[in-house]
Structures are given as structure tokens and as C-alpha cells.
Structure 1
Amino acid sequence: MKLTIIQTGDVPVALRSQFGPYRKMFETMFDGTGQGFSYDMVAVSDGEPFPDPGQLEGIVITGSAAGVYDDLPWMNPLRAFIRDAYGKRTPMLGVCFGHQIMGDALGGDVRKSEKGWGLGRHTYGVKGRPDFMRKAPIELAVACSHQDQVIVPPAEADVILSSEFTPNAGLAYRNGAALSFQPHPEFADDYTIALAELRRGKAPDEVVDTALASIAKPSHSGDVAGYIGQFFRGR
């Protein structure tokens, strides 16, 4: 199965020489599931044209430094692409900004949260168990890095992951072919740490320090990657 990565942002320049391009994180994550995915990438944030979602096998919308409220030339075309993909039931995953822009495009309310920065490994309660997550534990700990949140999910979405900080952290859509997560299962721990340190001065020191300490908590990123792999394979 070929996954088309819709790249809406990249690794910050200060970290790119150490951690490489963002697409590689997704490829490494999906390769780790052992499910034999192949990959294509469309860097829409760099002006590359959107493909026809009806011709794609699977779509992955990445994270980004952008917010859904930013006036960027690729933002409305991305919304139209998401709606088209949803209508055609092309399997589609959104992560972080991808989660937010899917929520925005499909009728939800997305904005910068009054709670501030979410950094490090957060723990989310499993609130729903679609077939691909039926064996999930009651909680999943996954890395995150965000200020924006889906405040009100689209009517077509069911909440499957939730925390006090991020109530709408995981959404499964009722067309059966769309899924999104606020946290980043594609992040390795060393990148999560480096990214949190990069936020120092923007996020309060105590938030960054708590984020760094949280990496000692066992990660469920591999489990979430497996669920996502099963989601795509099951479509």
C-alpha cells in the first residue's frame, strides 16, 4: 500500500541537520509496523500541487508550524483536498496540524488553546475502540508539541483519545476512512527532547522541564503506529 505524505511543514532548521527531513520520521514509523508500506510525498507548503485524492491509496497529513487560522496560499486548497478525500473515502490520517486542519475542514472549531503549550509525553485515556484499536489499553502515552487544539470536533467525528489538557486528542470519523491524532507517534524520544528544549523562551521553563522529565514515562508510540497501520490496511 502506498501512503502519500502531504507535507505541510518540516523539522525546524535548527534541528534539521541532526534529525533530517520530517517525512523520514513517518517512513521510519510506518516501516516499524512491518506492514510493507511504500511512500510518496507532496510538499504542499512548498507549493507542490495537490494530487487527486481519488487516485491515492492512503493519505498522511503532517504536522506544521502553521495554524489553521493562518492566511497561507495552500491552506484553502488543503481544506478542499480533505473534503474531497473524505467524500471519496480515501483512507486519511492527520497528525498534530493534520489533526487540526482535518477538524477545521470538516466542520469543527480549532484555535490556540488558553492552556498554552503541550510538550513532552502526555497520557491520553482511550475513549473509543474502533476495530483497529480494539486491543488498546486504557491509556496511551505519546509525545506531543502544540498550542492549538480541536476545541469542538466535527459532528462526523467520535473522540477516541482524550486528556484533561487535550480533550479531543484523537478522532475517528464516521465515514470509516478518516483518523486523526493530536500527539506525534512518529517522534523519537531524542527529537521530542530537542524540540521541547527549542521551545524554551516561548514556553515557560516549568513546562519545558516537565516535558523533559516526562520522557522517563514508557511510550506507547509503537502501539499507536501499529493501530494506524491496521487502520490503513483495513481500508
Structure 2
Amino acid sequence: MKPLLIVQTGSAPEPICARLGDFPHWFRLALGVHPRRLRVVRVDRDEALPPPRMCAGAVITGSAAMVTERLPWSERTAGWIRDAMDAALPLLGVCYGHQLMAHALGGRVDWLPGGREIGTQRLELLPGAADDPLARALPPVFRAHTTHEQSVLEPPAGARVLARSARDPHQMLRYGERAFSTQFHPEFSAQAMAAYIRRRAAKLREEGLDVPRLLREVGPTPHARRLLEVTGSDWAGAAA
């Protein structure tokens, strides 16, 4: 049985990991798969990725790194993404993974105009997204957790924009039939989102953000999480 691959590009801050676990744990719970079905590769520690044909699907996680740094491990992973697309491997990129997929496939990633987006945001589907097989799991307006300073400023040619926030017009992208990415974090719980805001509270105040308001607005995001439930179910069938 082919494994589901977690391409880990970074970790949650250590105090958050100690209480809530790290990214692979969050994705496993949201995807609804058994630990034995997963293979985690720490590309940020120069671990080698398997050939795409050896996997049932792959999630590319978030990271504290920046895609514009063009780090060697990140550029190698971008090359692997191109190979995975050629092999029609099901792919999901989240936050850094979203940006890295766009970069790998010819889009442009840079700093989000106006500064950081963080907290539980109101997102909306774009007109025409209702016929997308994954976007059908979402209502026209839904809430999702975000924390990022860079974003996809220009999607790759042929990519379809499915959802936006008030600050970021490219919150969810579709790349062909079997690959998509989200700037928002469907794997985050409300507890994780609040922990990120509290940990960065001093920096957020320096940036002029209202930390108490951000914390008040944190809440469940069941529709965003539903994307991972649907993805895990679909990929489980492909793993056989």
C-alpha cells in the first residue's frame, strides 16, 4: 500500500509543539488517517523525498522560512513538485506549501501588501468555484485560520483561483485535476491559532494589530477542516 506523504518544511514553535504536537500530527488528525499510513520527510533537514510514483498523495506543510529566500532544500522540493505534477500525484500545499507550489509552477511569491495576515478570517469562494470537486465541500462564505507574511501575488498560468480573503485574493488555488493549495491552514485548531497569536503578541502590537480583537475572533473552522477530511478519504482509496 502506498503511503500518504507529509513533506514537512518546518515545525510549529517549540512551546506549541510541546502542548499540541507538530504539523504532521495536526494533518494526520484532520486527514483521518492511521499513523502507519503516513510517511513524513523533513525536507528542511535535507531528507530525501521518494519518487512521486511511490506515494498515494502528498501534503506540503507550512514553515517559518520564506519562499523568496530560495533555500537549497526549498528549491529541491520545488523540483520534486514539478515531477509530482508530471506524474499526476495528488498534491495539497498549505501556507508555505501553497506558495512553494505556485513558485515551482511558474507563479510569483513575495511579501503580502499591507503586512501580515493572522487570525481567523472570513473567506469567500469566487464566482464559478462551485463546480470545483473540492470547493463543493465549502459554503460561499466560510472561516479559516491564517498566519503569513508572504503570499502568492501572481498564480501560475492555468491555475484556477477558488477562494479569497479581504487581504489576499489567492487563498485557494487549483492546479489541474489532482492538485490544489491553500494559503489558509485547514489543519489548525482554534487552540493552535490562539497559541500562535499569543506567542507573537508583542510583534503583532508593534505592527499595529489589535491582539485582544484577534483572540476574540478565533473560533472553529469546520468548513475549512472539511477540505482535509474529503482529501484524506479520496487519497485513502488511491493508496490501495
- Report how far residue 124 of structure 1 moved: 1.0
Match of 2:141 in 1: 139
Q: How do 1:1-235 and structure 2 match up within 5 A? A: 2-31=3-32, 38-127=37-126, 128-129=129-130, 130-174=132-176, 176-203=177-204, 204=207, 206-216=209-219, 219-229=222-232, 232=235
Identity %: 31
- Report how far residue 218 of structure 1 moved: 5.7
Q: 1:9 to 1:227 in 2, by over 3 A?
A: same
Tell me, in whole angstroms, the C-alpha distance in 2 between the residues paired with 1:200 and 1:101.
27
Unaligned runs of 5+ in 2: none
- Report how far residue 16 of structure 1 moved: 1.9
SS in 1 for 2:229: helix
- Deviation string 1:172-204 (CA, Å, 9 cap, x unpaired) is 112x11110001011111111010111222223
**Contact 1:123–1:142 (CA<8 Å) still a contact in 2?**
yes
- Report how far residue 76 of structure 1 moved: 1.3
Pick which of 178-187 and 125-134 moved more: 125-134
CA RMSD between the two structures = 2.2
**Contact 2:31–2:233 (CA<8 Å) still a contact in 1?**
no
- Report how far residue 131 of structure 1 moved: 1.6
SS in 2 for 1:220: helix
Aligned residues: 232
In structure 1, what residue type is equivalent to 2:184?
A: P
**Contact 1:199–1:208 (CA<8 Å) still a contact in 2?**
no
- Report how far residue 222 of structure 1 moved: 2.9
Tell me, in whole angstroms, the C-alpha distance in 2 between the residues paired with 1:104 and 1:152.
9
SS in 1 for 2:214: helix
- Deviation string 1:45-73 (CA, Å, 9 cap, x unpaired) is 11111211122110100000011111422
Tell me, in whole angstroms, the C-alpha distance in 1 between the residues paired with 2:202 and 2:46.
31
Q: 1:85 to 1:138 in 2, by over 3 A?
A: same
**Contact 2:109–2:153 (CA<8 Å) still a contact in 1?**
yes
SS in 2 for 1:190: helix
SS in 1 for 2:121: strand
Q: Identify the structure with bigger relative contact order (alpha carbons < 8 Å, sequence gap 6+).
A: 2
In structure 1, what residue type is equivalent to 2:161?
A: V
